[in-house]
Structure 1
Amino acid sequence: MATCREFINTEFPLIDDDVKKYVEGILADGEDFENGNEVYEAIGAVLHEMSEKSEDDIRNICDQLLNMMKPNHRSVINGPRKMLEAPIHLGTMAANLETEMEEVKSIWVQSRDDNFRVDAKKLEKAEAKLQQKQEKRSEIKAPTIAPVLQSATASQVTSKKDNKLEAKGSNKTQDIRIENFDIAFGDRVLLQGADLLLAFGRRYGLVGRNGLGKTTLLRMIMCKQLRIPSHISVLHVEQEVVGDDTPALESVLQCDTIRENLLKREKEITSMINKGTGDSTLSAELTEVYAQLEHIEADKAPAKASIILNGLGFSPEMQARATRTFSGGWRMRLALARALFSRPDLLLLDEPTNMLDIKAIIWLENYLQNWPTTLLVVSHDRNFLDTVPTDILHLHTQRLEPYRGNYEQFDKTKTEKHRNQQREFEAQQQHRQHVQEFIDRFRYNANRASSVQSKIKMLERLPELKAIDKEVEVILRFPETLPLSPPILQLNEVSFHYTPEANIFKSINLGATLESRICIVGDNGAGKTTLLKIIMGILAPTSGMRHTHRNLKFGYFSQHHVDQLDMNVNSVELLQQSYPGKSVEEYRRQLGSFGVSGDLALQTVGSLSGGQKSRVAFSRMCMGNPNFLVLDEPTNHLDIETIEALGKGIAKYTGGVILVSHDERLIRMICKELWVCGNGTVHSIEGGFDEYRRIVERELLEAQSK
């Protein structure tokens, strides 16, 4: 294992400690692997996330790991191959084999030595050891196994008029109207009797709590389970681009099938003309192809594709690289670039900012503000929803409610609307009570019989108003901390590199206290996560000094914490595994402080939503009572309400906080100091996030002008 550990450290210098332990735990059962494919299936997905290596490179690494664990291993599939020299009669062969087996059996029974008899105790011990090893392996692998999902189903009512227009092919509308539709996920109804109207050219933000069915709705539209006019092109950015030898820029250009087909036809016609083909129509067709290429501005397509890729963080060198050389996160960016370049009639985006740094998010916000067709986007980034959408669709209580304006306007309108509805409900309840008292008082009074009957009919005619169902407020409570005398944390002339040829940081000087609220920003790959690990002592500086208070205790929330939770146990059992010896009440109290209470705490972790899993991860992190929080992209799985709760919880926390995040709203809520990471250095910005945003926008303008 020592050899494997050194090899992993060499190939994946940025690998997280938790991930490394997980990989080593799987490799500890190396004798169970039959070939390199089994090793790849066990750890390949995790290794892809840790680097930008291609699939072939990862498979080669898995083969080398197997050879280290089993130096004498030879991969044999279905035994050695034999060439038959003559025909074989299978019936005769079977009869002879049966006779031979009887003879062998009798010889074996007669000549068997007692020394070769199986020791029952040893056999039982070996079987127990094998079972224990298999159980251990299944426990280690459990976090990577996604829970089996039930399939979603949809139904809708369509008008006869629309059906006739669709059948004739005369439906030319660009608006999308889906009326009276239902969506269920297994036995659970997500939407019932809902209506969805998307006007062409408008940008819609789809919002609602986690787990209500926003992503499912996008998939139902994309796979045409919810019917829309057949002439409307739809694109859902959900899966990453498949890696091959195609350069990134060429991969984007290939999305324009009209341009690709015209260029292909141009080459075919030119080749035939050069070969001397005497068809007189070829020249006319070539002229027509040139006219169409000019009409769609085919010559400008590479520049447009390059602008999109550059905005999403692809440098000129990266644009020329094969798609197979990119990691999953960069392939998702490439999928987004292809969607933006192809410009479908309806573009569906699900959390597009999760894979982007702040510079790319700002570029995408600006780009989508001029989007020419219809856009439907699911996002939990409050600032993105304030900037991009022209309309908001609120998913709640199994229906969709449309609002004009961005998220800020929606929030104000919804709050005022609910306040008015509640007032109307309360006024009606008082009126009902007053009328009912009159009825009860004079019910048996003959002189008032007509009045009583009139009042009863009036009550029956009153519309039935319902009280507003208030969504449960999410509250995150971080532990109390004791004050520490400074200095708390200092980095003096710190430099760091994985290889001497490439410095990540050089001579940085930073400091933090328990009052610090620091946000680290910078481009992807600038070293933000590496800096966090140096701060916590996970990585040692190659030069310089790191000083920390002897009582400083870090709480670390990494990007992979949620994915590394044990999915087969409930939340209480998860805390018991990490912090054994406490009472069940104490575990439940800890989970309750992060909104995981009641039956929710007894559900298996795998059945929880992404936001609920994040809260469980926060709860486990804080069980050790840290006095300094280090949070690396904590908002990726959280809905807007939980992000707000996280900001409020951190504001009340008495310890120090260092945060890496691209959520502008959260940064503005809590951070008092901004560290910009890039070009081998880290420096603080005066003026905070506003100044950083101005710098980024200036850089984007300069890049566009070139």
Structure 2
Amino acid sequence: MISLDNLTVSYGGWTLFDNISFLINPKDRIGLVGKNGAGKTTLLKLIVGEQQPTSGAVSKNGECTVGYLPQQMKVADTTTLVEETASAFKEVLALEAEIAALTREIAERTDYESPAYEALLHRLNDAQDHYHILGGETRDADIEKTLLGLGFKRSDFGRATSEFSGGWRMRIELAKLLLRRPSIFLLDEPTNHLDIESIQWLEEYLKSYNGAVLVISHDRAFLDNVTTRTVELSLGKIYDYKVPYSKYVVLRAERRAQQLAAYENQQRMIEKTEEFIEKFRYKPTKSNQVQSRIKQLERIERIEVDEEDAATLNIKFPPAPRSGQIVAEVKEAGMSFGAKHVFSGADFTIERGQKIALVGRNGEGKTTFARMLIGQLAPTEGSIRLGANVRVGYYAQNQDDLMEGEFTVYDTLDRVAVGDIRTRLRDILGAFLFRGEEVDKKVKVLSGGERSRLAMARLMLEPYNLLVLDEPTNHMDMRSKDILKRALQKYDGTVVVVSHDREFLDGIVDKVYEFRDGGVKEYLGGIYYFLEKRKLDSLRDVERKEAPAPAAAPKTEAPKLTYEQKKEQEKLLRKLRRAVESIETELAETERRIADYDARFAAATAYDEADYKAYDDLKAHYDHLMHEWEKASYELEITENG
């Protein structure tokens, strides 16, 4: 469908792509991955035709249409939401006008036997067929379904597009793109401005889409759920893996190990060859061999290995100063801005050491609550009171914009650092992937991801015991998200995080508060437990709307589950039971292997370092399994009793 043939892109003496080629087939689901700066967005622009390669070509077959969603875009401000979305159907609207004109002309003519009349009938038939193929009859229903799926409400349909924020405007462009139904979607970070429900809706849409999808995303769960093929850009070359992202990570590690071994072998060979040349350079009897070795070195294709960031392993937040057991007390808190009611009825306590996620659709109050928690906003209902000795560190969605553009990366940290920590600023910046001359860059020239990393590095300079993080991973690459996730897992303070990134939240949070329909609901468990329960709750909500209980039913009688609800609940219970049984089986096997080592060590006469390392790894794995078993058992118990 689309062929990229020997593409090279060079800037001066620097080559971004070096003779790369690959084919995009109909119905392909491709995740495009690589470090920031590897050229992912450039590759999309080459396919669209917004940029031209230095050499090589991009060719499409005649019927191929491309729908491109860039990271940044301009949206028209002159129409309503529905009118702007309907502009996706320009071709359909033109066909409607043509069909109406042809129908009028046919009705007015009387030369039924003439070739011209027959030609009109053929044109009308072709136009009606094309109209049907483009979904003309279901246009209004498709617009409604797409807008609702992306999180808009019916009450938004008549609002002017100028009233929507940047994130919602991006959704308008995404809606138009989906409704055009191109042969291939090129999506550059489509989940950045979506909430969890909208991301899941988009996943389902793309999985069942009849065309091809090429997507750049730093959302692992999204890539795993949508893609079946991963194309990596690295050092100007591409590596094509016919697997989704998680499997690609494993295969890439294997490829990198092979690459390193080949690199080391080549370096040894080069070193020996250079030693030979140096040793016999001035011996006439060896001149032929020396010249031969020199030519051999000139011909050799040097193996390059993509740099790994070893510094990412050591970053951590400073120890949290001790606070009171109650970090925040939220009593029937709510917020309204004038006539606009955001939420009410938030009633819970945040205790020391808890790690909590705030989730929900955009505009339901997550960021508002975060700002209320840190004291930027006062509740219009109820109260929010922080506990004793609570020191709050806040990361806002726009925190990267609040930094002074004329300061350098180093100055940004140096101006807020106090005491001995100032001697470690370069180490901290290095851990967030600012190295060498990069620390002297001005903030105004940094990319979105670099600004996010710098804002997070700045947050780590002072000892806080409550971190309130609002969408901390937007614009972060995979590596930076991993740094932050590991640091938060090790952090001994309290964390409240607003995020739509399921994979990032998994393993960090142990409680979820959902902001929905003007209220706040608590879920005791991790993010995937919340999503499972939410799916079941959504099904019950739908069933209640579609099949209300009979009026005569006694009030004391608990509502009975429908057949579909029972099926869904039984399916979930089976899944949870299998998970518990699987972990128990692995625990038993791990216990057996630990006992084998214990017996071997009791009879050993010499110390074997490899055996002790394997033993320690096994015990660490056992601890991890116990944690997973407790979590799975808890989820099963809650679901069985719920």
TM-score range normalised by the length of the shorter chain: 0.7 to 0.9
Deviation readout 1:10-35 (Å, 9 max, x if unpaired): xxxxxxxxxxxxxxxxxxxxxxxxxx
**Aligned match of 1:236 in 68, 74, 77?**
68
Cα distance in 2 for partners of 1:316, 1:425 equals: 59
* Residue 466 of structure 1: aligned partner: 303
Task: State yes or no: 1:640 paired with 2:478.
Answer: yes
The match for 2:202 among 339, 351, 364 is 364
**588 and 296 in structure 1: CA distance in 2 versus 1, 3 angstrom threshold:** closer
CA contact under 8 A between 1:494 and 1:506: conserved in structure 2?
yes
Query: 1:658 matched to which residue of 2?
Result: 496
Residues in 2 aligned to 1:703 and 1:308: alpha-carbon distance in whole angstroms: 19
Structure-1 residue corresponding to 2:92: 259
- For residue 138 of structure 2, what is the amino acid of its counterpart? K
Q: 2:323 matched to 1:484?
A: yes
For residue 479 of structure 1, report the CA deviation from its aligned partner: 1.7
2:203–2:222 Cα contact (<8 Å) kept: yes
Structure 2 matches for 1:257-656, cutoff 5 A?
Answer: 257-270=90-103, 281=117, 286=124, 289-294=127-132, 296-426=134-264, 466=303, 468-473=305-310, 475=312, 476-499=315-338, 501-578=339-416, 585=423, 587-588=425-426, 590-656=428-494
Work out which of the two has the higher radius of gyration on C-alpha atoms and give 1 or 2: 1
Alignment deviations for residues 381-427 of structure 1 (CA, whole Å, 9 cap, x no partner): 01111111121111111222111110111111111112123334445
Give the counterpart letter for 2:318 in structure 1. P
Measure the CA separation in 2 of the matches of 1:406 and 1:626. Answer: 38
Match of 2:24 in 1: 198
The question of whether the paired residues in 2 share the 8 Å contact of 1:359 and 1:696 is answered with no
Residues 673/456 of structure 1: CA separation in 2 closer, same or farther (3 Å cut)? same
Give percent identity, aligned residues only: 31
CA drift of 1:348 comes to 0.9
Question: Shift of residue 229 of structure 1?
Answer: 2.9
Cα 1:433–1:703 change in 2 (3 A) is: same
Q: Which amino acid aligns with 2:93?
A: E
CA distance in 2, matches of 1:193, 1:284: 48
**Preserved contact between residue 357 and residue 662 of structure 1 (Cα < 8 Å):** yes
Q: Given the superposition, is the C-alpha separation of residues 317 and 273 from structure 1 closer, same or farther in structure 2, using an over 3 Å criterion?
A: farther
Q: Partner letter of residue 15 of structure 2?
A: V
The question of whether the paired residues in 1 share the 8 Å contact of 2:183 and 2:211 is answered with: yes
Measure, in 1, the Cα distance between the counterparts of 2:133 and 2:435: 61
**SS across alignment from 2:437:** helix
* Cα distance in 1 for residues equivalent to 2:331 and 2:439: 44
* Paired AA for residue 530 in structure 1: T
Distance 1:462 1:180 in 2: 22
Q: Per the alignment, in what secondary structure is the counterpart of residue 215 of structure 2?
A: strand
| Paired residue secondary structure (1:252) | helix
Report SS of the residue matched to 2:198.
Answer: helix
Shift of 1:354: 0.4
Question: In structure 2, the residue corresponding to 1:243 is in which secondary structure?
Answer: coil
Deviations, residues 358-399 of structure 1 (Å, cap 9, x unaligned):
000011111111222222111100111111112111111122
Task: State the alpha-carbon separation in 2 of the partners of residues 183 and 458 from structure 1.
Answer: 29
Deviations 1:609-634, CA, capped at 9 Å, x for gaps: 32221121112223332221110001
1:235 counterpart letter in structure 2: G
Residues 1:688 and 2:526 aligned together: yes
608 and 286 in structure 1: CA distance in 2 versus 1, 3 angstrom threshold: closer
| Contact 1:363/1:700, CA 8 A, preserved across alignment | no
Using a 3 Å threshold, how does the CA distance of structure 1 residues 692 and 395 change in structure 2: closer, same or farther? same
> Retained in 2: the 8 A contact 1:572–1:584?
no
Could you say what secondary structure the match of 1:353 adopts? coil
RMSD between superposed Cα atoms in Å: 3.7
TM-score (norm 1): 0.67
After TM superposition, give the deviation of residue 643 of structure 1 in Å: 0.6
**SS, match of residue 506 in structure 2:** helix
Partner residue in 2 for 1:165? none
One-letter code aligned to 1:268: A
Question: For each residue in 1:291-334, what CA deviation from the matched residue of structure 2 results, as whole angstroms up to 9, or x when unmatched?
Answer: 54345552123222322222111222323444344332222111
In structure 2, the CA distance between the partners of 1:438 and 1:540, relative to structure 1 (3 Å rule), is closer
Shift in Å, 1:672: 1.4
Whether the 8 Å CA contact 2:324–2:352 is kept in 1: the answer is no
Q: Any idea what the Cα deviations from partners look like across 1:180-227, whole Å, max 9, x if unmatched?
A: 222245765322222232222201111111122211221222125253
Name the SS of the counterpart of 2:326 in structure 1: coil
Partners of 1:214 and 1:395 within 8 A in 2 = yes
C-alpha distance 698-313 of structure 1, shift in aligned 2 (>3 A): farther
Q: Letter of the 1:256 partner, please give it.
A: F
Unaligned runs of 5+ in 2: 547-642
Contact preservation (8 Å) 1:313, 1:360? yes
Is the Cα contact below 8 Å between 1:311 and 1:363 reproduced in 2? yes
Q: Does structure 1 retain, via aligned residues, the 8 Å contact 2:4–2:22?
A: yes
Contact 2:331 2:382 in 1 (8 A): yes
SS in 2 for 1:623: coil
Q: Which amino acid aligns with 2:37?
A: G
Ranges in structure 1 where 5+ consecutive residues have no aligned partner: 1-173
Equivalent residue of 1:420, what SS?
Answer: helix
Determine the C-alpha separation between the residues in 1 that align with 2:252 and 2:355: 32
CA contact (8 A) 1:346 1:376 kept: yes
CA contact (8 A) 1:234 1:346 kept: yes
Contact 1:474 1:645 in 2 (8 A): no
The TM-score with structure 2 as length reference comes to: 0.73
**Letter of the structure 2 residue corresponding to residue 195 of structure 1:** S
Identify the range of structure 1 (367-376 vs 522-531) with the bigger mean alpha-carbon deviation.
367-376
SS at match of 1:392: strand
Matched, 1:679 2:517: yes
The 2-side partners of 1:530 and 1:307 are apart by 28
Alignment check: 8 A CA contact 2:507 2:526 kept = no
Could you tell me how far apart the structure 1 residues matched to 2:293 and 2:235 are?
32
Show the counterpart of 1:189.
15
C-alpha distance in structure 2 between counterparts of 1:592 and 1:510, whole Å: 39
- Assess, with a 3 A threshold, how the Cα gap between structure 1 residues 644 and 522 changes in structure 2: closer, same or farther: same
Residue 39 of structure 1 corresponds to none
Greater shift after overlay, 195-204 or 549-558?
Answer: 195-204
